[in-house]
Chains A and B, each alone.
Chain A
Amino acid sequence: MRCLPLIWLFLLTACAGRTLYPLPGKGGKGAKLPIQTSRPYNIAHRGSNGEIPEETAPAYLRAIEEGADFIETDVLSTKDGVLICFHDFTLQNTTNVASHKEFADRNRTYEVQGSNMTGFFTFDFTLKELKKLRTKQRFSFRNQQYNGKYPIITFEEFITIARDAPRVVGIYPEIKNPVLMNQHVKWPGGVRFEDKVVETLKKYGYGGSYLSKKWLKRPLFIQSFAPSSLVYISNLIDSPKVLLIDDVTVLTEDTNQTYAEITSDVYFNYIKQYVVGIGPWKDTVVPVSNNYTQAPTDLVKRAHAHNLKVHPYTYRNENEFLHLNFSQDPYKEYEYWINEIGVDGLFTDFTGSLHNYQEWTSPLSETSKSPRQLLSQIAALVLPYEKA
């Protein structure tokens, strides 16, 4: 009889007591390592797609493991209006759709930005159908061993990956091909593609202007090649937006404007009310001749003069992507862009390499490090003495 209260207490504790470790999926209330804001952002372009097929959960998990500040994705839509993470509007380059006999008749031709394109378009498949597919590595010279393993993920699944990370990891979604999406997919209530993107972000608590307290908890940049989409959503969400800029010969998909026009001072004056930065193709920032970089243009200078950040794309380790000045060395490329050109963020396929470079040459201040990280740093410093 005397044991009863004890048993009761025991049961109560077992059922109501908290575990000592933080539960998964709950992120930890403010105990997470915050995002760094003191050196250029390391943006994992499509996740660690240098190693794992792009825009899959493992590619994003790997990027977080490797130290990315932001995980980046492209948002497209399915036939039934579900937002997915996928770069191409056709499926054949990065999935095994071509080997699915049941979808053979979905190979169609549509006009996209003035050209006729043939393929399996995302908006011709429901989410259920897309989930049957498996992704593959886009480039043949990258690791093929994960081909056929991972499915396409939804935008919400992507957000969850960021939210569940053991430290604060930002997201960098792109409103991709909005003109095409709005053409082929209709949402109830006349809601547009851009509305759905913002709606999803808000649902997960994203919002807040750049570097605000709210933003630092859930860092976010919304990017797009379509300026009108960014202007459109400026009323819906105050999160920082970035205007992507294509090659010098390409016109904007929505407003049909030239490169020269949207990189002019006049345009910067206008667009800076809506965006915090630009994301140009790096070979337009510093032109190239015979695979050697030439004198930089004044693009970065002028953007900075307008208080616009510059996040160029895309940095890749493979020598075919490295201009000869860099001696086939991706770290020399990072060094040039960060120290000489002074960019504010870099879209990279190899977030681990950029992280290494930054950790070695511009380590973050000690206050943000745990005792274990400090000891790790000391270990690296004194390791050479061990051999002496």
Chain B
Amino acid sequence: MNRHFWGKMRDQRIVPKLFARGGTSSQIVYILWVTKTGIFVKCLIWLSLVTLCTGRTLYQRPGKGVKDAATKQPIQTSRPYNIAHRGSNGEIPEETKAAYLRAIEDGTDFIETDILSSKDGVLICFHDVILDLTTDVASRKEFAGRNRTYDVQGFKIPGFFTFDFTLKELKTLRTKQRYAFRDQQYNGKYPIITFEEFLAIAQDAPRVVGIYPEIKNPVLMNQHVKWPGGKRFEDKVVETLKKHGYGGAYLSKQWLNKPLFIQSFAPSSLVYISNLTDSPKVLLIDDVIRPTQDTNQTYAEITSDAYFTYIKEYVVGIGPWKDTIVPVTNNYMLTPTDLVKRAHAHKLQVHPYTYRNENQFLHFNFSQDPYKEYEYWIKEIGVDGLFTDFTGSLHNYQEWASPLPETSKSTRQLLSHIASLVRPYAKA
């Protein structure tokens, strides 16, 4: 570049900025400079547009965590799964982004959610079919007329139903803490999130965090919401999962990248989607007096050996209510049933629900101590996963009582052998 050129360059304030890029850009600028300025300005604009549209930002954009999955700390599979039931809802209103972020911070393996639908067919994360208990809908004058009564699994339930509100309307609401004895300070702060927003939270986590969505009240959803093309609620759930790259049999490479369990109280829904996705499914089991919402089968029937033999073609595990596994009388647990044994005999995992810290939920055997409850269920009953409202407490317990191994596989096998040798002393 000659001195003449440089002299001209210095006069123009915009040009030094171009030189910051250096190389080809500067040469282009030079060529343009020696022609007419008008063309120069047009080309400058063009170049800028090209850069803006195609260049990558230096920071990682949200929702794009996928590519880095291989470098993320993988999910642990050597001890029972810590499943954050509705996020860390012991601390923050359930199924909100804040509750899920907190759960991830607290060390959870899986974040769990319930999927329902809005009026316009958008999948949302919400547990109850009505909005009354965990949102401020009752104080919204504009929705006063939406208080209706519908039949839900044989019961007439009044309230503000999710499927009577469009997503836009739902987004104007704010959530609140369900239980009066939990922290109320976040009431009115956080909105309901969509299923896709939930997936983004998992994908953006700094380590591999699994998801555990429930196909909630599918009978009711399919009754009140219609999707184009005759699609069912279950189809939409699977479609969304696949769109975000979820799939793969349990413990496969694809699964380990994006761990997933699909749960439901409705066995026919799980059977239905078994053709659509090979992701592991879990059959939830309600209390002994409740029949299944879709097939009207009793507890006794769906926990029989015959049924296990059938359903294990479709699910990898069951999620029972813990007080049916170990019955309770006068707030004391009695002898465990053989449910876990039999499930394990059928190679079905057992993920009971729900573990809560508050003493009103703890049976007296546990001395008002949630860690004693974890210890019992993990060591004595031998469950494979736990749905907990207090993922941080379960994480503490597991970290203190059974920290993850740092060693290689061969050493692990050796230690496994030692374990079986010293196991009897554990109770001494």
Contacts and interface: CB of A to CB of B under 8 A. Distances in A.
A209 interface: no
Chain A interface helix/strand/loop/mixed: helix
A383 B403 CA distance: 10
Interface string A317-332: 1111000100111111
Contacts of A142: 368
Interface in B378-428: 379, 390, 392-393, 396, 400-405, 412-413, 415-416, 418-420, 422-423, 425-426, 428
B330 A145 contact: yes
B150 interface: no
B367 A350 contact: yes
Interface in A341-388: 350, 352-353, 356, 360-361, 372, 375-376, 378-380, 382-388
B287 interface: no
A384 B404 contact: yes
A380 B401 contact: yes
A385 to B, nearest CB: 4
Given A317-B367, A350-B368, A385-B405, A328 B422 contact: no
A350 to B, nearest CB: 6
Contacts of B368: 50, 142, 317-318, 350
B390 A385 contact: no
Nearest to B358: A319
A375 B422 contact: yes
Interface residues of B, number: 46
B419 A385 contact: yes
Contacts of A21: none
Interface stretch (B17-25, B178-186, B200-208): B178-186
A356 B371 contact: yes
Contact of A352 (B367, B405, B420, B423): B367
B90 A331 contact: no
B393 A329 contact: yes
B128 interface: no
Contact of B415 (A50, A328, A385): A385
B369 A353 contact: yes
B125 to A, nearest CB: 21
Contacts of B73: none
A51 interface: yes
A189 to B, nearest CB: 45
A386 B420 contact: yes
Given A329-B390, A384-B404, A317 B369 contact: yes
A383 B412 CA distance: 11
Interface of A: 48, 50-51, 141-143, 145, 290, 317-320, 324, 327-332, 350, 352-353, 356, 360-361, 372, 375-376, 378-380, 382-388
7 contacts: A317-B367, A327-B90, A329-B390, A384-B78, A385-B78, A386-B419, A387-B79
Interface of B: 78-79, 88, 90-91, 181-183, 185, 330-332, 357-360, 364, 367-372, 379, 390, 392-393, 396, 400-405, 412-413, 415-416, 418-420, 422-423, 425-426, 428
